[in-house]
């Protein structure tokens, strides 16, 4: 009975899926490589639900506010914190690549690099013009924003609807009830989808090992080591300090959200866990209005894992090609990364696309240099997504505390006890009843 209870946990099921994926990819590489559609299919299955869940959550959050004037300060504080954390992530990436020197001694001739590797990503590049980026946030049509699945245009529509419902009052209550009921329906649907998360993890890991070889996992090189070291330092030190100042334990947060972290690690994407994050952040005491605004915004503006990756990859290419960058050029590059790390949000393989975008506007560095790392990019995408997910969770709790919308007693009791879902949450969060 004890074994059956352990197997009922979602994170255990995901770990089993990952382990089986490694075995299949190692023993039957061709079969493993062919299983990529399983992992892609799971992520795609989740992505179509993101836009309506974000819409319903934000509308519900705004209408639950006693004072809608708090929305502006919440967003301003959120963006301020996001950019501060992004700057710290960029600095840590620069420190790591300077310390480890992963590209030193390679002496690569840029003219011998395959430029076609970068060309297929240039069609996905976001505009480097800030005005174009702001205009892209404005949805073309009401329905089109949901059809495209872009978070920021949906967020704009949701905020407008939320304020309109608040102004409308009683006449709009019926429509608001429909939105809230639809939100509950979406979470139940999402619960069913999460039951196949172990299968998605299996397919994604089998492809990775089958495509790049089991030996690659242990021998990815100094660049991978430097990247993972920078991510660990960012989480342990940067986010650890933020958590301590806010009044909670980072370790307890990591334990509480372990299911979500394993899913992100297995799928290399943070999108599958967005609905679960919204529910569990409310569960630990964050007000719904703060959660609904901060987390979806963070998915586009708080990509700290991508920020670390950008400095490491760019400087690695410079080192490998024996290109010396002055501090002025490095600072210019970091400034561009503050924009490119945000502009590629929502694009498949956003970290790699953001790297191409950065190199495109940095004439000193060859865009074709991405050919050096395209083969190992898949092994860094897990850490990119995981670092950004942890950062969004900690940021949301911190901003809720600053806004006076955090129940500290509830936060401490929940984190100390660990996540124990209610009967309703077992359905919504896809945790089988036998798990506890």
Phi-psi sector, 345: left (phi>0), alpha (psi -120 to 50), beta: beta
Please report, rounded to a whole number, the percentage of residues in the chain having pLDDT higher than 90: 12
423 pLDDT band (50/70/90 cuts)?
A: low
pLDDT of residue 324: 84
The per-residue pLDDT for 387 is: 92
Indicate if the pLDDT at residue 379 is higher than 80: no
Best CATH choice for the domain 2-435 from the list 1.10.1270.20, 3.40.50.460, 1.10.3860.10, 3.40.50.300: 1.10.3860.10
What does the pLDDT look like over 69-101, one tens digit per residue? 677 788 788 888 988 998 999 999 889 988 888
Query: In terms of Cα–Cα distance, which of 310, 285, 118, 349 is closest to 231?
Result: 310
Question: What's the confidence (pLDDT) of residue 232?
Answer: 93
Q: Is the pLDDT of residue 217 over 50?
A: no
State yes or no: pLDDT of 395 exceeds 80: yes
Kindly report, residue by residue over 310-343, the tens digit of the pLDDT.
888 888 888 888 888 888 878 878 877 776 566 4
With 70 as the cut, is the pLDDT of residue 119 above it?
A: no
CB neighbourhood size of 218 (10 A): 6
pTM of the predicted model, to two decimals?
0.69
| DSSP string for 384-432 | HHHHHHHHHHHHHHHHHHHTT-B-HHHHHHHHHH-----HHHHHHTT--
Is residue 18 scored above 60 in pLDDT?
yes
Q: Which of 86-90, 94-98, 133-137, 422-426 has the lowest mean pLDDT?
A: 422-426
pLDDT classification of 432: cutoffs 50, 70, 90? very low
Name the 3-class secondary structure at 127. Answer: coil
């Amino acid at each position: 009975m004890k074994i059956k209870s352990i197997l009922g946990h979602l994170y255990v099921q995901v770990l089993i899926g990952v382990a089986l994926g490694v075995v299949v990819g190692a023993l039957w590489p061709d079969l493993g490589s062919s299983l990529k559609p399983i992992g892609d299919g799971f992520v795609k299955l989740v992505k179509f639900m993101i836009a309506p869940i974000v819409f319903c959550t934000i509308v519900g959050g705004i209408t639950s506010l006693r004072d809608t004037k708090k929305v502006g300060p919440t967003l301003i504080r959120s963006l301020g914190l996001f950019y501060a954390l992004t700057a710290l992530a960029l600095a840590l990436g620069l420190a790591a690549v300077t310390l480890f020197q992963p590209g030193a001694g390679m002496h690569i001739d840029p003219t011998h690099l395959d430029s076609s590797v970068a060309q297929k990503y240039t069609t996905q590049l976001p505009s480097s013009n800030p005005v174009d980026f702001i205009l892209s946030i404005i949805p073309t049509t009401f329905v089109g924003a949901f059809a495209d699945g872009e978070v920021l245009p949906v967020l704009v529509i949701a905020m407008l609807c939320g304020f309109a419902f608040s102004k409308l009052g009683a006449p709009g209550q019926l429509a608001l009830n429909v939105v809230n009921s639809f939100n509950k329906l979406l979470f139940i649907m999402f619960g069913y989808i999460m039951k196949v998360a172990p299968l998605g993890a299996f397919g994604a890991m089998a492809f990775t090992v089958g495509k790049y070889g089991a030996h690659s996992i242990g021998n990815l090189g100094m660049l991978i080591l430097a990247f993972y070291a920078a991510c660990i330092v960012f989480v342990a030190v940067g986010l650890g300090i933020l958590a301590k100042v806010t009044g909670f334990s980072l370790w307890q947060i990591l334990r509480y959200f372990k299911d979500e972290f394993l899913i992100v690690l297995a799928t290399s994407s943070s999108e599958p866990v967005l609905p679960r994050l919204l529910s569990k952040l409310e569960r630990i005491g964050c007000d719904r209005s703060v959660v609904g605004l901060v987390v979806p915004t963070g998915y586009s503006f708080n990509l700290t894992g991508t920020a670390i990756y950008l400095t490491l990859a760019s400087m690695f290419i410079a080192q490998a090609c024996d290109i010396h960058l002055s501090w002025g050029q490095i600072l210019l590059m970091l400034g561009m990364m503050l924009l490119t790390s945000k502009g590629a949000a929502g694009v498949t393989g956003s970290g790699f696309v953001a790297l191409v975008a950065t190199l495109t506007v940095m004439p000193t560095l060859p865009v074709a240099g991405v050919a050096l790392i395209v083969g190992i990019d898949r092994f860094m995408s897990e850490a990119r997504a995981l670092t950004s997910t942890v950062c969004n969770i900690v940021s949301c709790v911190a901003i809720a505390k600053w806004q006076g919308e955090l129940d500290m007693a509830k936060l401490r009791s929940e984190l100390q006890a660990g996540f124990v879902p209610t009967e309703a949450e077992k359905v919504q969060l896809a945790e089988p009843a036998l798990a506890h």
